[in-house]
């Protein structure tokens, strides 16, 4: 049912010049569901996440978050574009953790989490600091609150970025290759954190190349190729019995790839 959806995407398309990066994307994500998005490099996975947050403006299509239109809406036969203010007000409902993490280097860990709440959600400093403290404690970062990003490990920076997104109380969390910039020994730490988040019922879309993680944690797997969703289904079924030859070929290549290091 529509009210059970955290995210509904219909007919989403995006081009850069003549390059069609996203082509007629349809995707529904239920509340509490974990969806892993896999596919070869350049297939449009990261662009999809950026369009879902309206950091890239889709050329066509519609997005609903928690049943509310985001970016543009269809009223009868008329497409209505939302104002920048309306988009900015809606955007915190989707938390995104980027590959680059985008922590502010001149702010402490605590302030990285407090400041967005005050600026975007208009929370008082007292309320924002209380929310930040709860997130830091929950992610095992309480003793790092006064440190600056340069003094953190890659895994710690990743957890701070997650804490900052969660402090905004999003309806949906997006992760863009959350382990791509980490040393091999830190990958397991971050994957365990994502498993813990999934166990709390957080709705998540995770773009990942960690097929083992996708198998263990995701409810569904979406395979993208050349800007389209080629296969979408229960995680184990998609991985164990792929119906599309492109997915079968992709999984075969992944399994033959030597371990990093």
d(CA 42, CA 21): 8
Q: How far is CA 74 from CA 14, 28, 124, 130, 165, in A?
A: 18, 18, 36, 39, 29
H helices present in the chain, as ranges: 45-52, 84-90, 109-120, 125-138, 154-166, 184-199, 211-217, 235-240, 245-256
Domain 2-256 has CATH 3.40.50.300: yes
Confidence of residue 136 (pLDDT cuts 50, 70, 90): very high
pLDDT score at 179 = 77
pLDDT score at 144 = 95
pTM: 0.88
Percent of the chain with pLDDT over 90: 62
What number is the average pLDDT over the span 139-157? Answer: 90
What are the tens digits of pLDDT across the range 179-208? 776 677 677 777 888 888 888 889 999 999
- Collapsing DSSP states into helix, strand and coil, what is residue 75? strand
pLDDT score at 221 = 96
What number is the average pLDDT over the span 20-41? Answer: 95
Confidence of residue 153 (pLDDT cuts 50, 70, 90): confident
Least confident of 31-40, 70-79, 252-261: 252-261
What number is the average pLDDT over the span 158-163? Answer: 89
What are the tens digits of pLDDT across the range 8-27? 999 999 999 889 999 999 99
Domain regions of the chain by residue span: 2-256
d(CA 24, CA 16): 15
Check pLDDT > 60 for residue 260: no
């Amino acid at each position: 049912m529509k009210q059970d959806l955290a995210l509904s995407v219909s007919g989403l398309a995006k081009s850069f010049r003549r390059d069609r990066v996203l082509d007629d994307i349809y995707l529904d994500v239920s509340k509490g569901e974990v969806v892993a998005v896999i596919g070869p490099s350049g297939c449009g996975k990261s662009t999809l996440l950026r369009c879902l947050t309206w950091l890239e403006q889709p050329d066509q299509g519609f997005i609903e978050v928690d049943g509310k239109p985001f970016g543009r809406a269809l009223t009868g036969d008329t497409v209505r574009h939302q104002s920048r203010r309306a988009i900015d007000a809606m955007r915190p409902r989707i938390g995104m953790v980027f590959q680059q993490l985008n922590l502010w280097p001149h702010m402490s860990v605590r302030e990285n989490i407090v400041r967005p709440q005050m600026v975007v959600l208009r929370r008082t400093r007292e309320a924002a600091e209380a929310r930040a403290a709860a997130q830091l404690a929950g992610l095992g970062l309480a003793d790092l609150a006064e440190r600056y990003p340069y003094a953190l490990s890659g895994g710690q920076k990743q957890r701070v970025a997650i804490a900052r997104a969660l402090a905004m109380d999003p309806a949906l969390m997006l992760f863009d290759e959350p382990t791509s910039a980490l040393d091999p020994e830190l990958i397991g730490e971050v994957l365990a954190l994502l498993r813990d988040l999934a166990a709390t019922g957080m709705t998540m879309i995770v773009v990942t190349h960690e097929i083992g993680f996708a198998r263990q944690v995701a409810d569904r797997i979406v395979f993208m190729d050349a800007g389209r969703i080629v296969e979408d289904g229960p995680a184990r079924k998609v991985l164990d019995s792929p119906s599309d030859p492109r997915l079968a070929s992709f999984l075969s290549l992944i399994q033959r790839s030597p371990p990093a290091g």
